[in-house]
Amino acid sequence: MDIEDVLHETLEEILKKLGTKYTKIVINEDEKDSYVVNIKSVEPSLLIGYHGENIQALQHLLKVLVWKKFENEKFNILVDIDDYRKRQEDNVIALTQRKVEMVRKTGRKQILPAMSPYFRRKIHLYCMGAGFDDIETSSEGDGDHRHVIIKLKS
> Whole-number mean pLDDT of the chain?
92
Q: Which of 57, 82, 107 is the last residue of a domain?
A: 82
Q: 55 with 112, same domain? A: no
Q: 37 with 50, same domain? A: yes
Predicted pLDDT of residue 37: 93
Q: 57 with 117, same domain? A: no
Q: 72 with 8, same domain? A: yes
Q: 12 with 76, same domain? A: yes
Do β-strands 34-41 and 76-81 pair in parallel, antiparallel, or remain unpaired?
parallel
Q: 70 with 93, same domain? A: no
Predicted pLDDT of residue 65: 94
Model confidence, pTM: 0.77
Q: Which of 32, 58, 82 is the last residue of a domain?
A: 82
Predicted pLDDT of residue 34: 87
Q: 74 with 95, same domain? A: no
Domain extent, residue 63, equals 3-82
Predicted pLDDT of residue 141: 94
Predicted pLDDT of residue 1: 79
Euclidean distance between CA atoms 7 and 5, whole angstroms:
5
Residue ranges of the chain with per-residue pLDDT less than 50: none
Which residue pairs from 27-31 have beta carbons closer than 8 angstroms and sit at least 24 positions apart in sequence? 29/4, 30/78
Domain count, the chain: 2
Burial of 81 (0-12, 13-18, 19+ CB in 10 A): buried
Predicted pLDDT of residue 33: 81
Q: Which of 65, 82, 99 is the last residue of a domain?
A: 82
Q: What is the CATH number of the domain that holds 127?
A: 3.30.1370.50
Q: 70 with 95, same domain? A: no
